Amino acid sequence: MITAPYNFVPLSDKVFFPDWADKISHDIPFEDGEDGIITLTIENKTPLFTKDGKANEWSSHIVDDKGNKHYFIPGTTLKGCFRSVMEILSFSKMNHFNNDSFGYRSFTTQIKGVNYSSDIKKAKCCGWLYKDGDNYYIRECSKGIQKITHRQLKLKFPDFNRGADHQTAEIKQKSLCDGNPLYPTLTAREGEITYQENKVEKIVPEGEYHIVCTGFIKNKRIEYLFSTETAEQILKVSRDVFISFDSVHSHSPYYGGQNGKDGFLKCRLKTGSSIPVFFEKDNGIVKTIGITRMYRYPFKNSVRDGITNTSKEHSNNDKMDLCECIFGYISKQKQYKGRVHIGNAFCQDTILDNDCEIKEGVFGQPRASYYPLYLKQSANSVTNYSSPNATIAGRKRYRITKDFVTLPISVGNGNENMLVRFRPLPANNKFICKIIVHNLKKSEIGALLSAISFNKTEGTYHNIGLAKSYGYGTISCQANLSQHFKYTTDDYIKAFNEDISAFLQINGSRICIEECLNKLVSIASATHTTQEMKQMSFKECEVYKEDRNFSTLQESSKTFNLLINESDILEKKLKEQKAKEEAEEAIRIQKKTELDNILQEAETLEEAKNYEEAIRKYKLYIERGGDDVSYKIDNCIHKIKEQQRILNSPICDTLTTSSFGAFVGSLKKWKNNHNNEISSSDLESAFNVLKENISKMSDIKKKKKELKKVLGDELGTEWLHKLNL
């Protein structure tokens, strides 16, 4: 059976985004916003150790003038503790995580959906990885992966150190230097260097090669030769492929390093040097990279993929969730200051130095690469990071030990460099701090109180500080409101419960209270035996990677304390939502009516040839959210230009002479465009045009009356007489 000192609360497939998030201001308070002070009383049920940034074995403290230590729990520690609980209670985004990628290298363990032997065979290339600006590139060796035996290498380099199980590739590589370049050159003559591969003798093609050493493997008898001759095409490494390579090898001492320091290869890469790599390519595109020939082959999904496969809402940076609204956030694009300040919680009891018994141990961090625990498992089949739509198990929470016992701390192999020494404070001490809230809404205050008390669920506890996996740092919390608050603790928590309950029911989230919130309080209950809390050995961990040994973490059942009647709240929220929708529909109809009126006015003005005023109305229509009527504006502009063209053109250029009727029509149009006035010179020009073209006009008889209407009877009769008509 799988055991662990932690478990996971399932991740919601829906995220709660408060509808007031975009109205938050530190300067303009909410109409229902409140300020106040919450007094928090804390008791440590088990020994407790927290760091305050000082590198020593004593828990966080200050020293007074007399040399006495006054211990406290840092406010930042408490803030992180309560925020992590609130993220679960409020179905907030999961956006604080290491976006790691993981790899596999297994010839024995059967990992579903992957085959290491066949996958690693795709990596047939070797070359030199280097950084240029913000990008990474590979110069591919033209003669492929070649090998040289330790025996042959020792003959050519007598100081070569073959290495042992405690020695690294760095030691072997440097043993070849002796004042020479790190990767010395070796000349291979025809048939001189040979090696065995799959019981077949291989001959290294003649040419020059750099010698590249890789790490120690039992019974390993070869190192590698990278030809100095490289391919003409430089291969660019995509950002995703490099991030995957960097993450997969982050725990390799030779690359990723140890104790917070980069490894040998990573240091070289950062300082502009090239490093030897093996890689897979497809159609000239680099797919995977490693630092050994049989490197850890990357799974298809990263941690981020496991989160977005649950819901893409968790990567929505355009909206603030409830935790961000209350505690604030910092991102590359922007930052927002929170409205809650948590002070340091000072111990109210006297603790002497002799009361703090020294402890020591090795604290290895659990790794998300262990997919049987860190990924959500379906029934009877182990999901891994290459499984389709792999999703993370949820948010990790450390379990609380039964009867508040502490477990023996592992000391590893006794390596002094790895041991951590600390002096935890004894159990059953009281700490007090102040929490100052500013301009919080009723539901937000409820969310904070709910996170402190696990929604007033009896028998639940937080854990903080060092050695949580061994039962240390278990605390209980009691919050008391100052007189400045308008309501009781229950009233605030009920308001929060109402918002969240309505959100879950209206949005139809698959993650319900039984699956999520009940799991939270079960993990936070002091019910876990030492056997359930046991950290598995490496051999045990390997066993549960196979389907035939399928197992999941078991959790005792505990019911989340909900302070409301869900059915009543749903009915209330549905009515509120319906009323809101009706109000929005009324506003929409009113807006549409206003827009229709503006559009009608614009069209009327256009018909009346008041084009400039029509354009103004059309633009107003668009500005207020109407449809795109830019084509109408363009039409008005065209007509204005046509009017200007006619006004600025000689009359003889605008008259149509294809027929008598056409001539009269164009004359009428000219008159209309010139305010019904025609100068004597224009009349003379028009008459001359008519006189020149009258002989070819056939409809004169029908249009005589039209000419008189345009010119007037007297002038019209005069024109007809002069033309003998």
- Asked whether the predicted pLDDT for residue 168 surpasses 80, the reply is no
CA distance 119 to 290: 13
Question: Across residues 506-511, what is the average pLDDT?
Answer: 61
What is the tally of structural domains in the chain?
A: 4
425 and 542 in a single domain? The answer is yes
How many other CB atoms sit within 10 Å of the CB of residue 235?
18
Q: Average per-residue pLDDT in the chain?
A: 88
Answer for the pair 382, 547: CB distance below 8 angstroms, yes or no.
yes
**Which of 512, 541, 564 is where one domain is finished?**
564
**Nearest CA among 566, 454, 552 for reference residue 502:** 566
> Is residue 439, in this structure, part of any structural domain at all?
yes
CA distance 296 to 290: 7
Answer for the pair 247, 170: CB distance below 8 angstroms, yes or no.
no
Cβ neighbours of residue 388 closer than 8 Å, sequence gap 6 or more: none
Answer for the pair 172, 162: CB distance below 8 angstroms, yes or no.
yes
- Asked whether the predicted pLDDT for residue 568 surpasses 90, the reply is no
Residue 575, judged by CB atoms within 10 A of its CB (0-12, 13-18, 19+), counts as exposed
Question: Across residues 660-680, what is the average pLDDT?
Answer: 82
- Asked whether the predicted pLDDT for residue 131 surpasses 90, the reply is yes
Answer for the pair 290, 87: CB distance below 8 angstroms, yes or no.
no
Of the pLDDT bands very low, low, confident and very high (cuts 50, 70, 90), residue 584 is confident
658 and 717 in a single domain? The answer is yes
**Nearest CA among 292, 294, 225 for reference residue 253:** 292
Q: Dihedrals φ, ψ of 513, to 5°? A: -60, -40
120 and 69 in a single domain? The answer is no
> Is residue 552, in this structure, part of any structural domain at all?
yes
CA distance 280 to 118: 12
> Is residue 213, in this structure, part of any structural domain at all?
yes
600 and 519 in a single domain? The answer is no
CA distance 251 to 243: 14
- Asked whether the predicted pLDDT for residue 139 surpasses 60, the reply is yes
Structure tokens at 121: 């065979």
CA distance 305 to 389: 8
- Position 248 scores a pLDDT of 93
**Does the predicted TM-score (pTM) go above 0.85?**
no
Structure tokens at 657: 């002479």
- The residue segments making up the domain with residue 678 are 651-722
- Asked whether the predicted pLDDT for residue 506 surpasses 90, the reply is no
Query: What H or E segment, with its residue span, contains residue 336?
Result: strand 335-337
- Position 643 scores a pLDDT of 72
45 and 124 in a single domain? The answer is no
473 and 533 in a single domain? The answer is yes
HSE, CB side, 13 Å, CA atoms: give it for residue 601: 15
pLDDT digit string (tens) for 628-637?
888 999 999 9
Question: Across residues 382-393, what is the average pLDDT?
Answer: 89
| Bigger pLDDT: 282 vs 678 | 282
Answer for the pair 309, 391: CB distance below 8 angstroms, yes or no.
yes
| Bigger pLDDT: 26 vs 463 | 463
Of the pLDDT bands very low, low, confident and very high (cuts 50, 70, 90), residue 58 is very high
- Lowest-pLDDT range, 79-88, 160-169, 288-297, 673-682? 160-169
Listed ranges 26-30, 366-370, 397-401; the one with the highest mean pLDDT: 397-401
- Asked whether the predicted pLDDT for residue 247 surpasses 70, the reply is yes
Buried b (16+ CB within 10 A) or exposed e, 657-690: bebbbebbbbbbebbebeeeebeeebeebbbebb
- Asked whether the predicted pLDDT for residue 387 surpasses 80, the reply is yes
Of the pLDDT bands very low, low, confident and very high (cuts 50, 70, 90), residue 504 is confident
CA distance 269 to 260: 17
| Bigger pLDDT: 357 vs 563 | 357
Cβ neighbours of residue 681 closer than 8 Å, sequence gap 6 or more: none
- CA distance to 3, 458, 686, per residue, from 6 (Å): 9, 20, 100
- Position 578 scores a pLDDT of 80
- Asked whether the predicted pLDDT for residue 510 surpasses 60, the reply is no
Tell me which amino acid residue 405 is: V
Q: Dihedrals φ, ψ of 177, to 5°? A: -70, -70
pLDDT digit string (tens) for 671-722?
887 777 787 888 888 888 888 888 888 777 777 888 888 888 888 888 888 8
- Position 228 scores a pLDDT of 93
> Is residue 710, in this structure, part of any structural domain at all?
yes
- Position 551 scores a pLDDT of 83
CA distance 445 to 34: 9
How many other CB atoms sit within 10 Å of the CB of residue 3?
17
**Nearest CA among 185, 235, 231, 187 for reference residue 207:** 187
Cβ neighbours of residue 287 closer than 8 Å, sequence gap 6 or more: 122, 241, 279, 280, 281
**Nearest CA among 120, 102, 107 for reference residue 384:** 102
**Which of 607, 622, 647 is where one domain is finished?**
647
The percentage of residues in the chain with a pLDDT greater than 90, rounded to a whole number, is 49
> Is residue 573, in this structure, part of any structural domain at all?
no
Question: Across residues 663-671, what is the average pLDDT?
Answer: 84
161 and 187 in a single domain? The answer is yes
> Is residue 367, in this structure, part of any structural domain at all?
yes
Question: Across residues 95-105, what is the average pLDDT?
Answer: 86
Of the pLDDT bands very low, low, confident and very high (cuts 50, 70, 90), residue 238 is very high
Answer for the pair 299, 158: CB distance below 8 angstroms, yes or no.
no
- Position 389 scores a pLDDT of 85
Query: What H or E segment, with its residue span, contains residue 528?
Result: strand 526-528
- Position 179 scores a pLDDT of 67
- Position 505 scores a pLDDT of 75
- Classify residue 263 by its DSSP letter: -
- Position 123 scores a pLDDT of 93
297 and 167 in a single domain? The answer is yes
148 and 211 in a single domain? The answer is yes
230 and 91 in a single domain? The answer is no
Gyration radius of the chain over CA positions: 41
- Asked whether the predicted pLDDT for residue 499 surpasses 80, the reply is yes
- Asked whether the predicted pLDDT for residue 48 surpasses 60, the reply is yes
- Asked whether the predicted pLDDT for residue 362 surpasses 60, the reply is yes
Answer for the pair 299, 79: CB distance below 8 angstroms, yes or no.
no
542 and 601 in a single domain? The answer is no
Answer for the pair 441, 82: CB distance below 8 angstroms, yes or no.
no
> Is residue 643, in this structure, part of any structural domain at all?
yes
- CA distance to 131, 272, 299, 358, per residue, from 136 (Å): 4, 11, 21, 48
Of the pLDDT bands very low, low, confident and very high (cuts 50, 70, 90), residue 653 is confident
| Bigger pLDDT: 717 vs 379 | 717
- Asked whether the predicted pLDDT for residue 647 surpasses 80, the reply is no
Question: Across residues 129-134, what is the average pLDDT?
Answer: 94
59 and 131 in a single domain? The answer is no
**Which of 259, 288, 303 is where one domain is finished?**
303
Answer for the pair 163, 305: CB distance below 8 angstroms, yes or no.
no
- Position 167 scores a pLDDT of 61
| Bigger pLDDT: 378 vs 66 | 66
CA distance 289 to 305: 20
HSE, CB side, 13 Å, CA atoms: give it for residue 257: 12
- Asked whether the predicted pLDDT for residue 424 surpasses 60, the reply is yes
Question: Across residues 388-392, what is the average pLDDT?
Answer: 89
Question: Across residues 534-559, what is the average pLDDT?
Answer: 84
CA distance 671 to 688: 17
> Is residue 386, in this structure, part of any structural domain at all?
no
- Asked whether the predicted pLDDT for residue 566 surpasses 80, the reply is no
- Asked whether the predicted pLDDT for residue 407 surpasses 90, the reply is yes
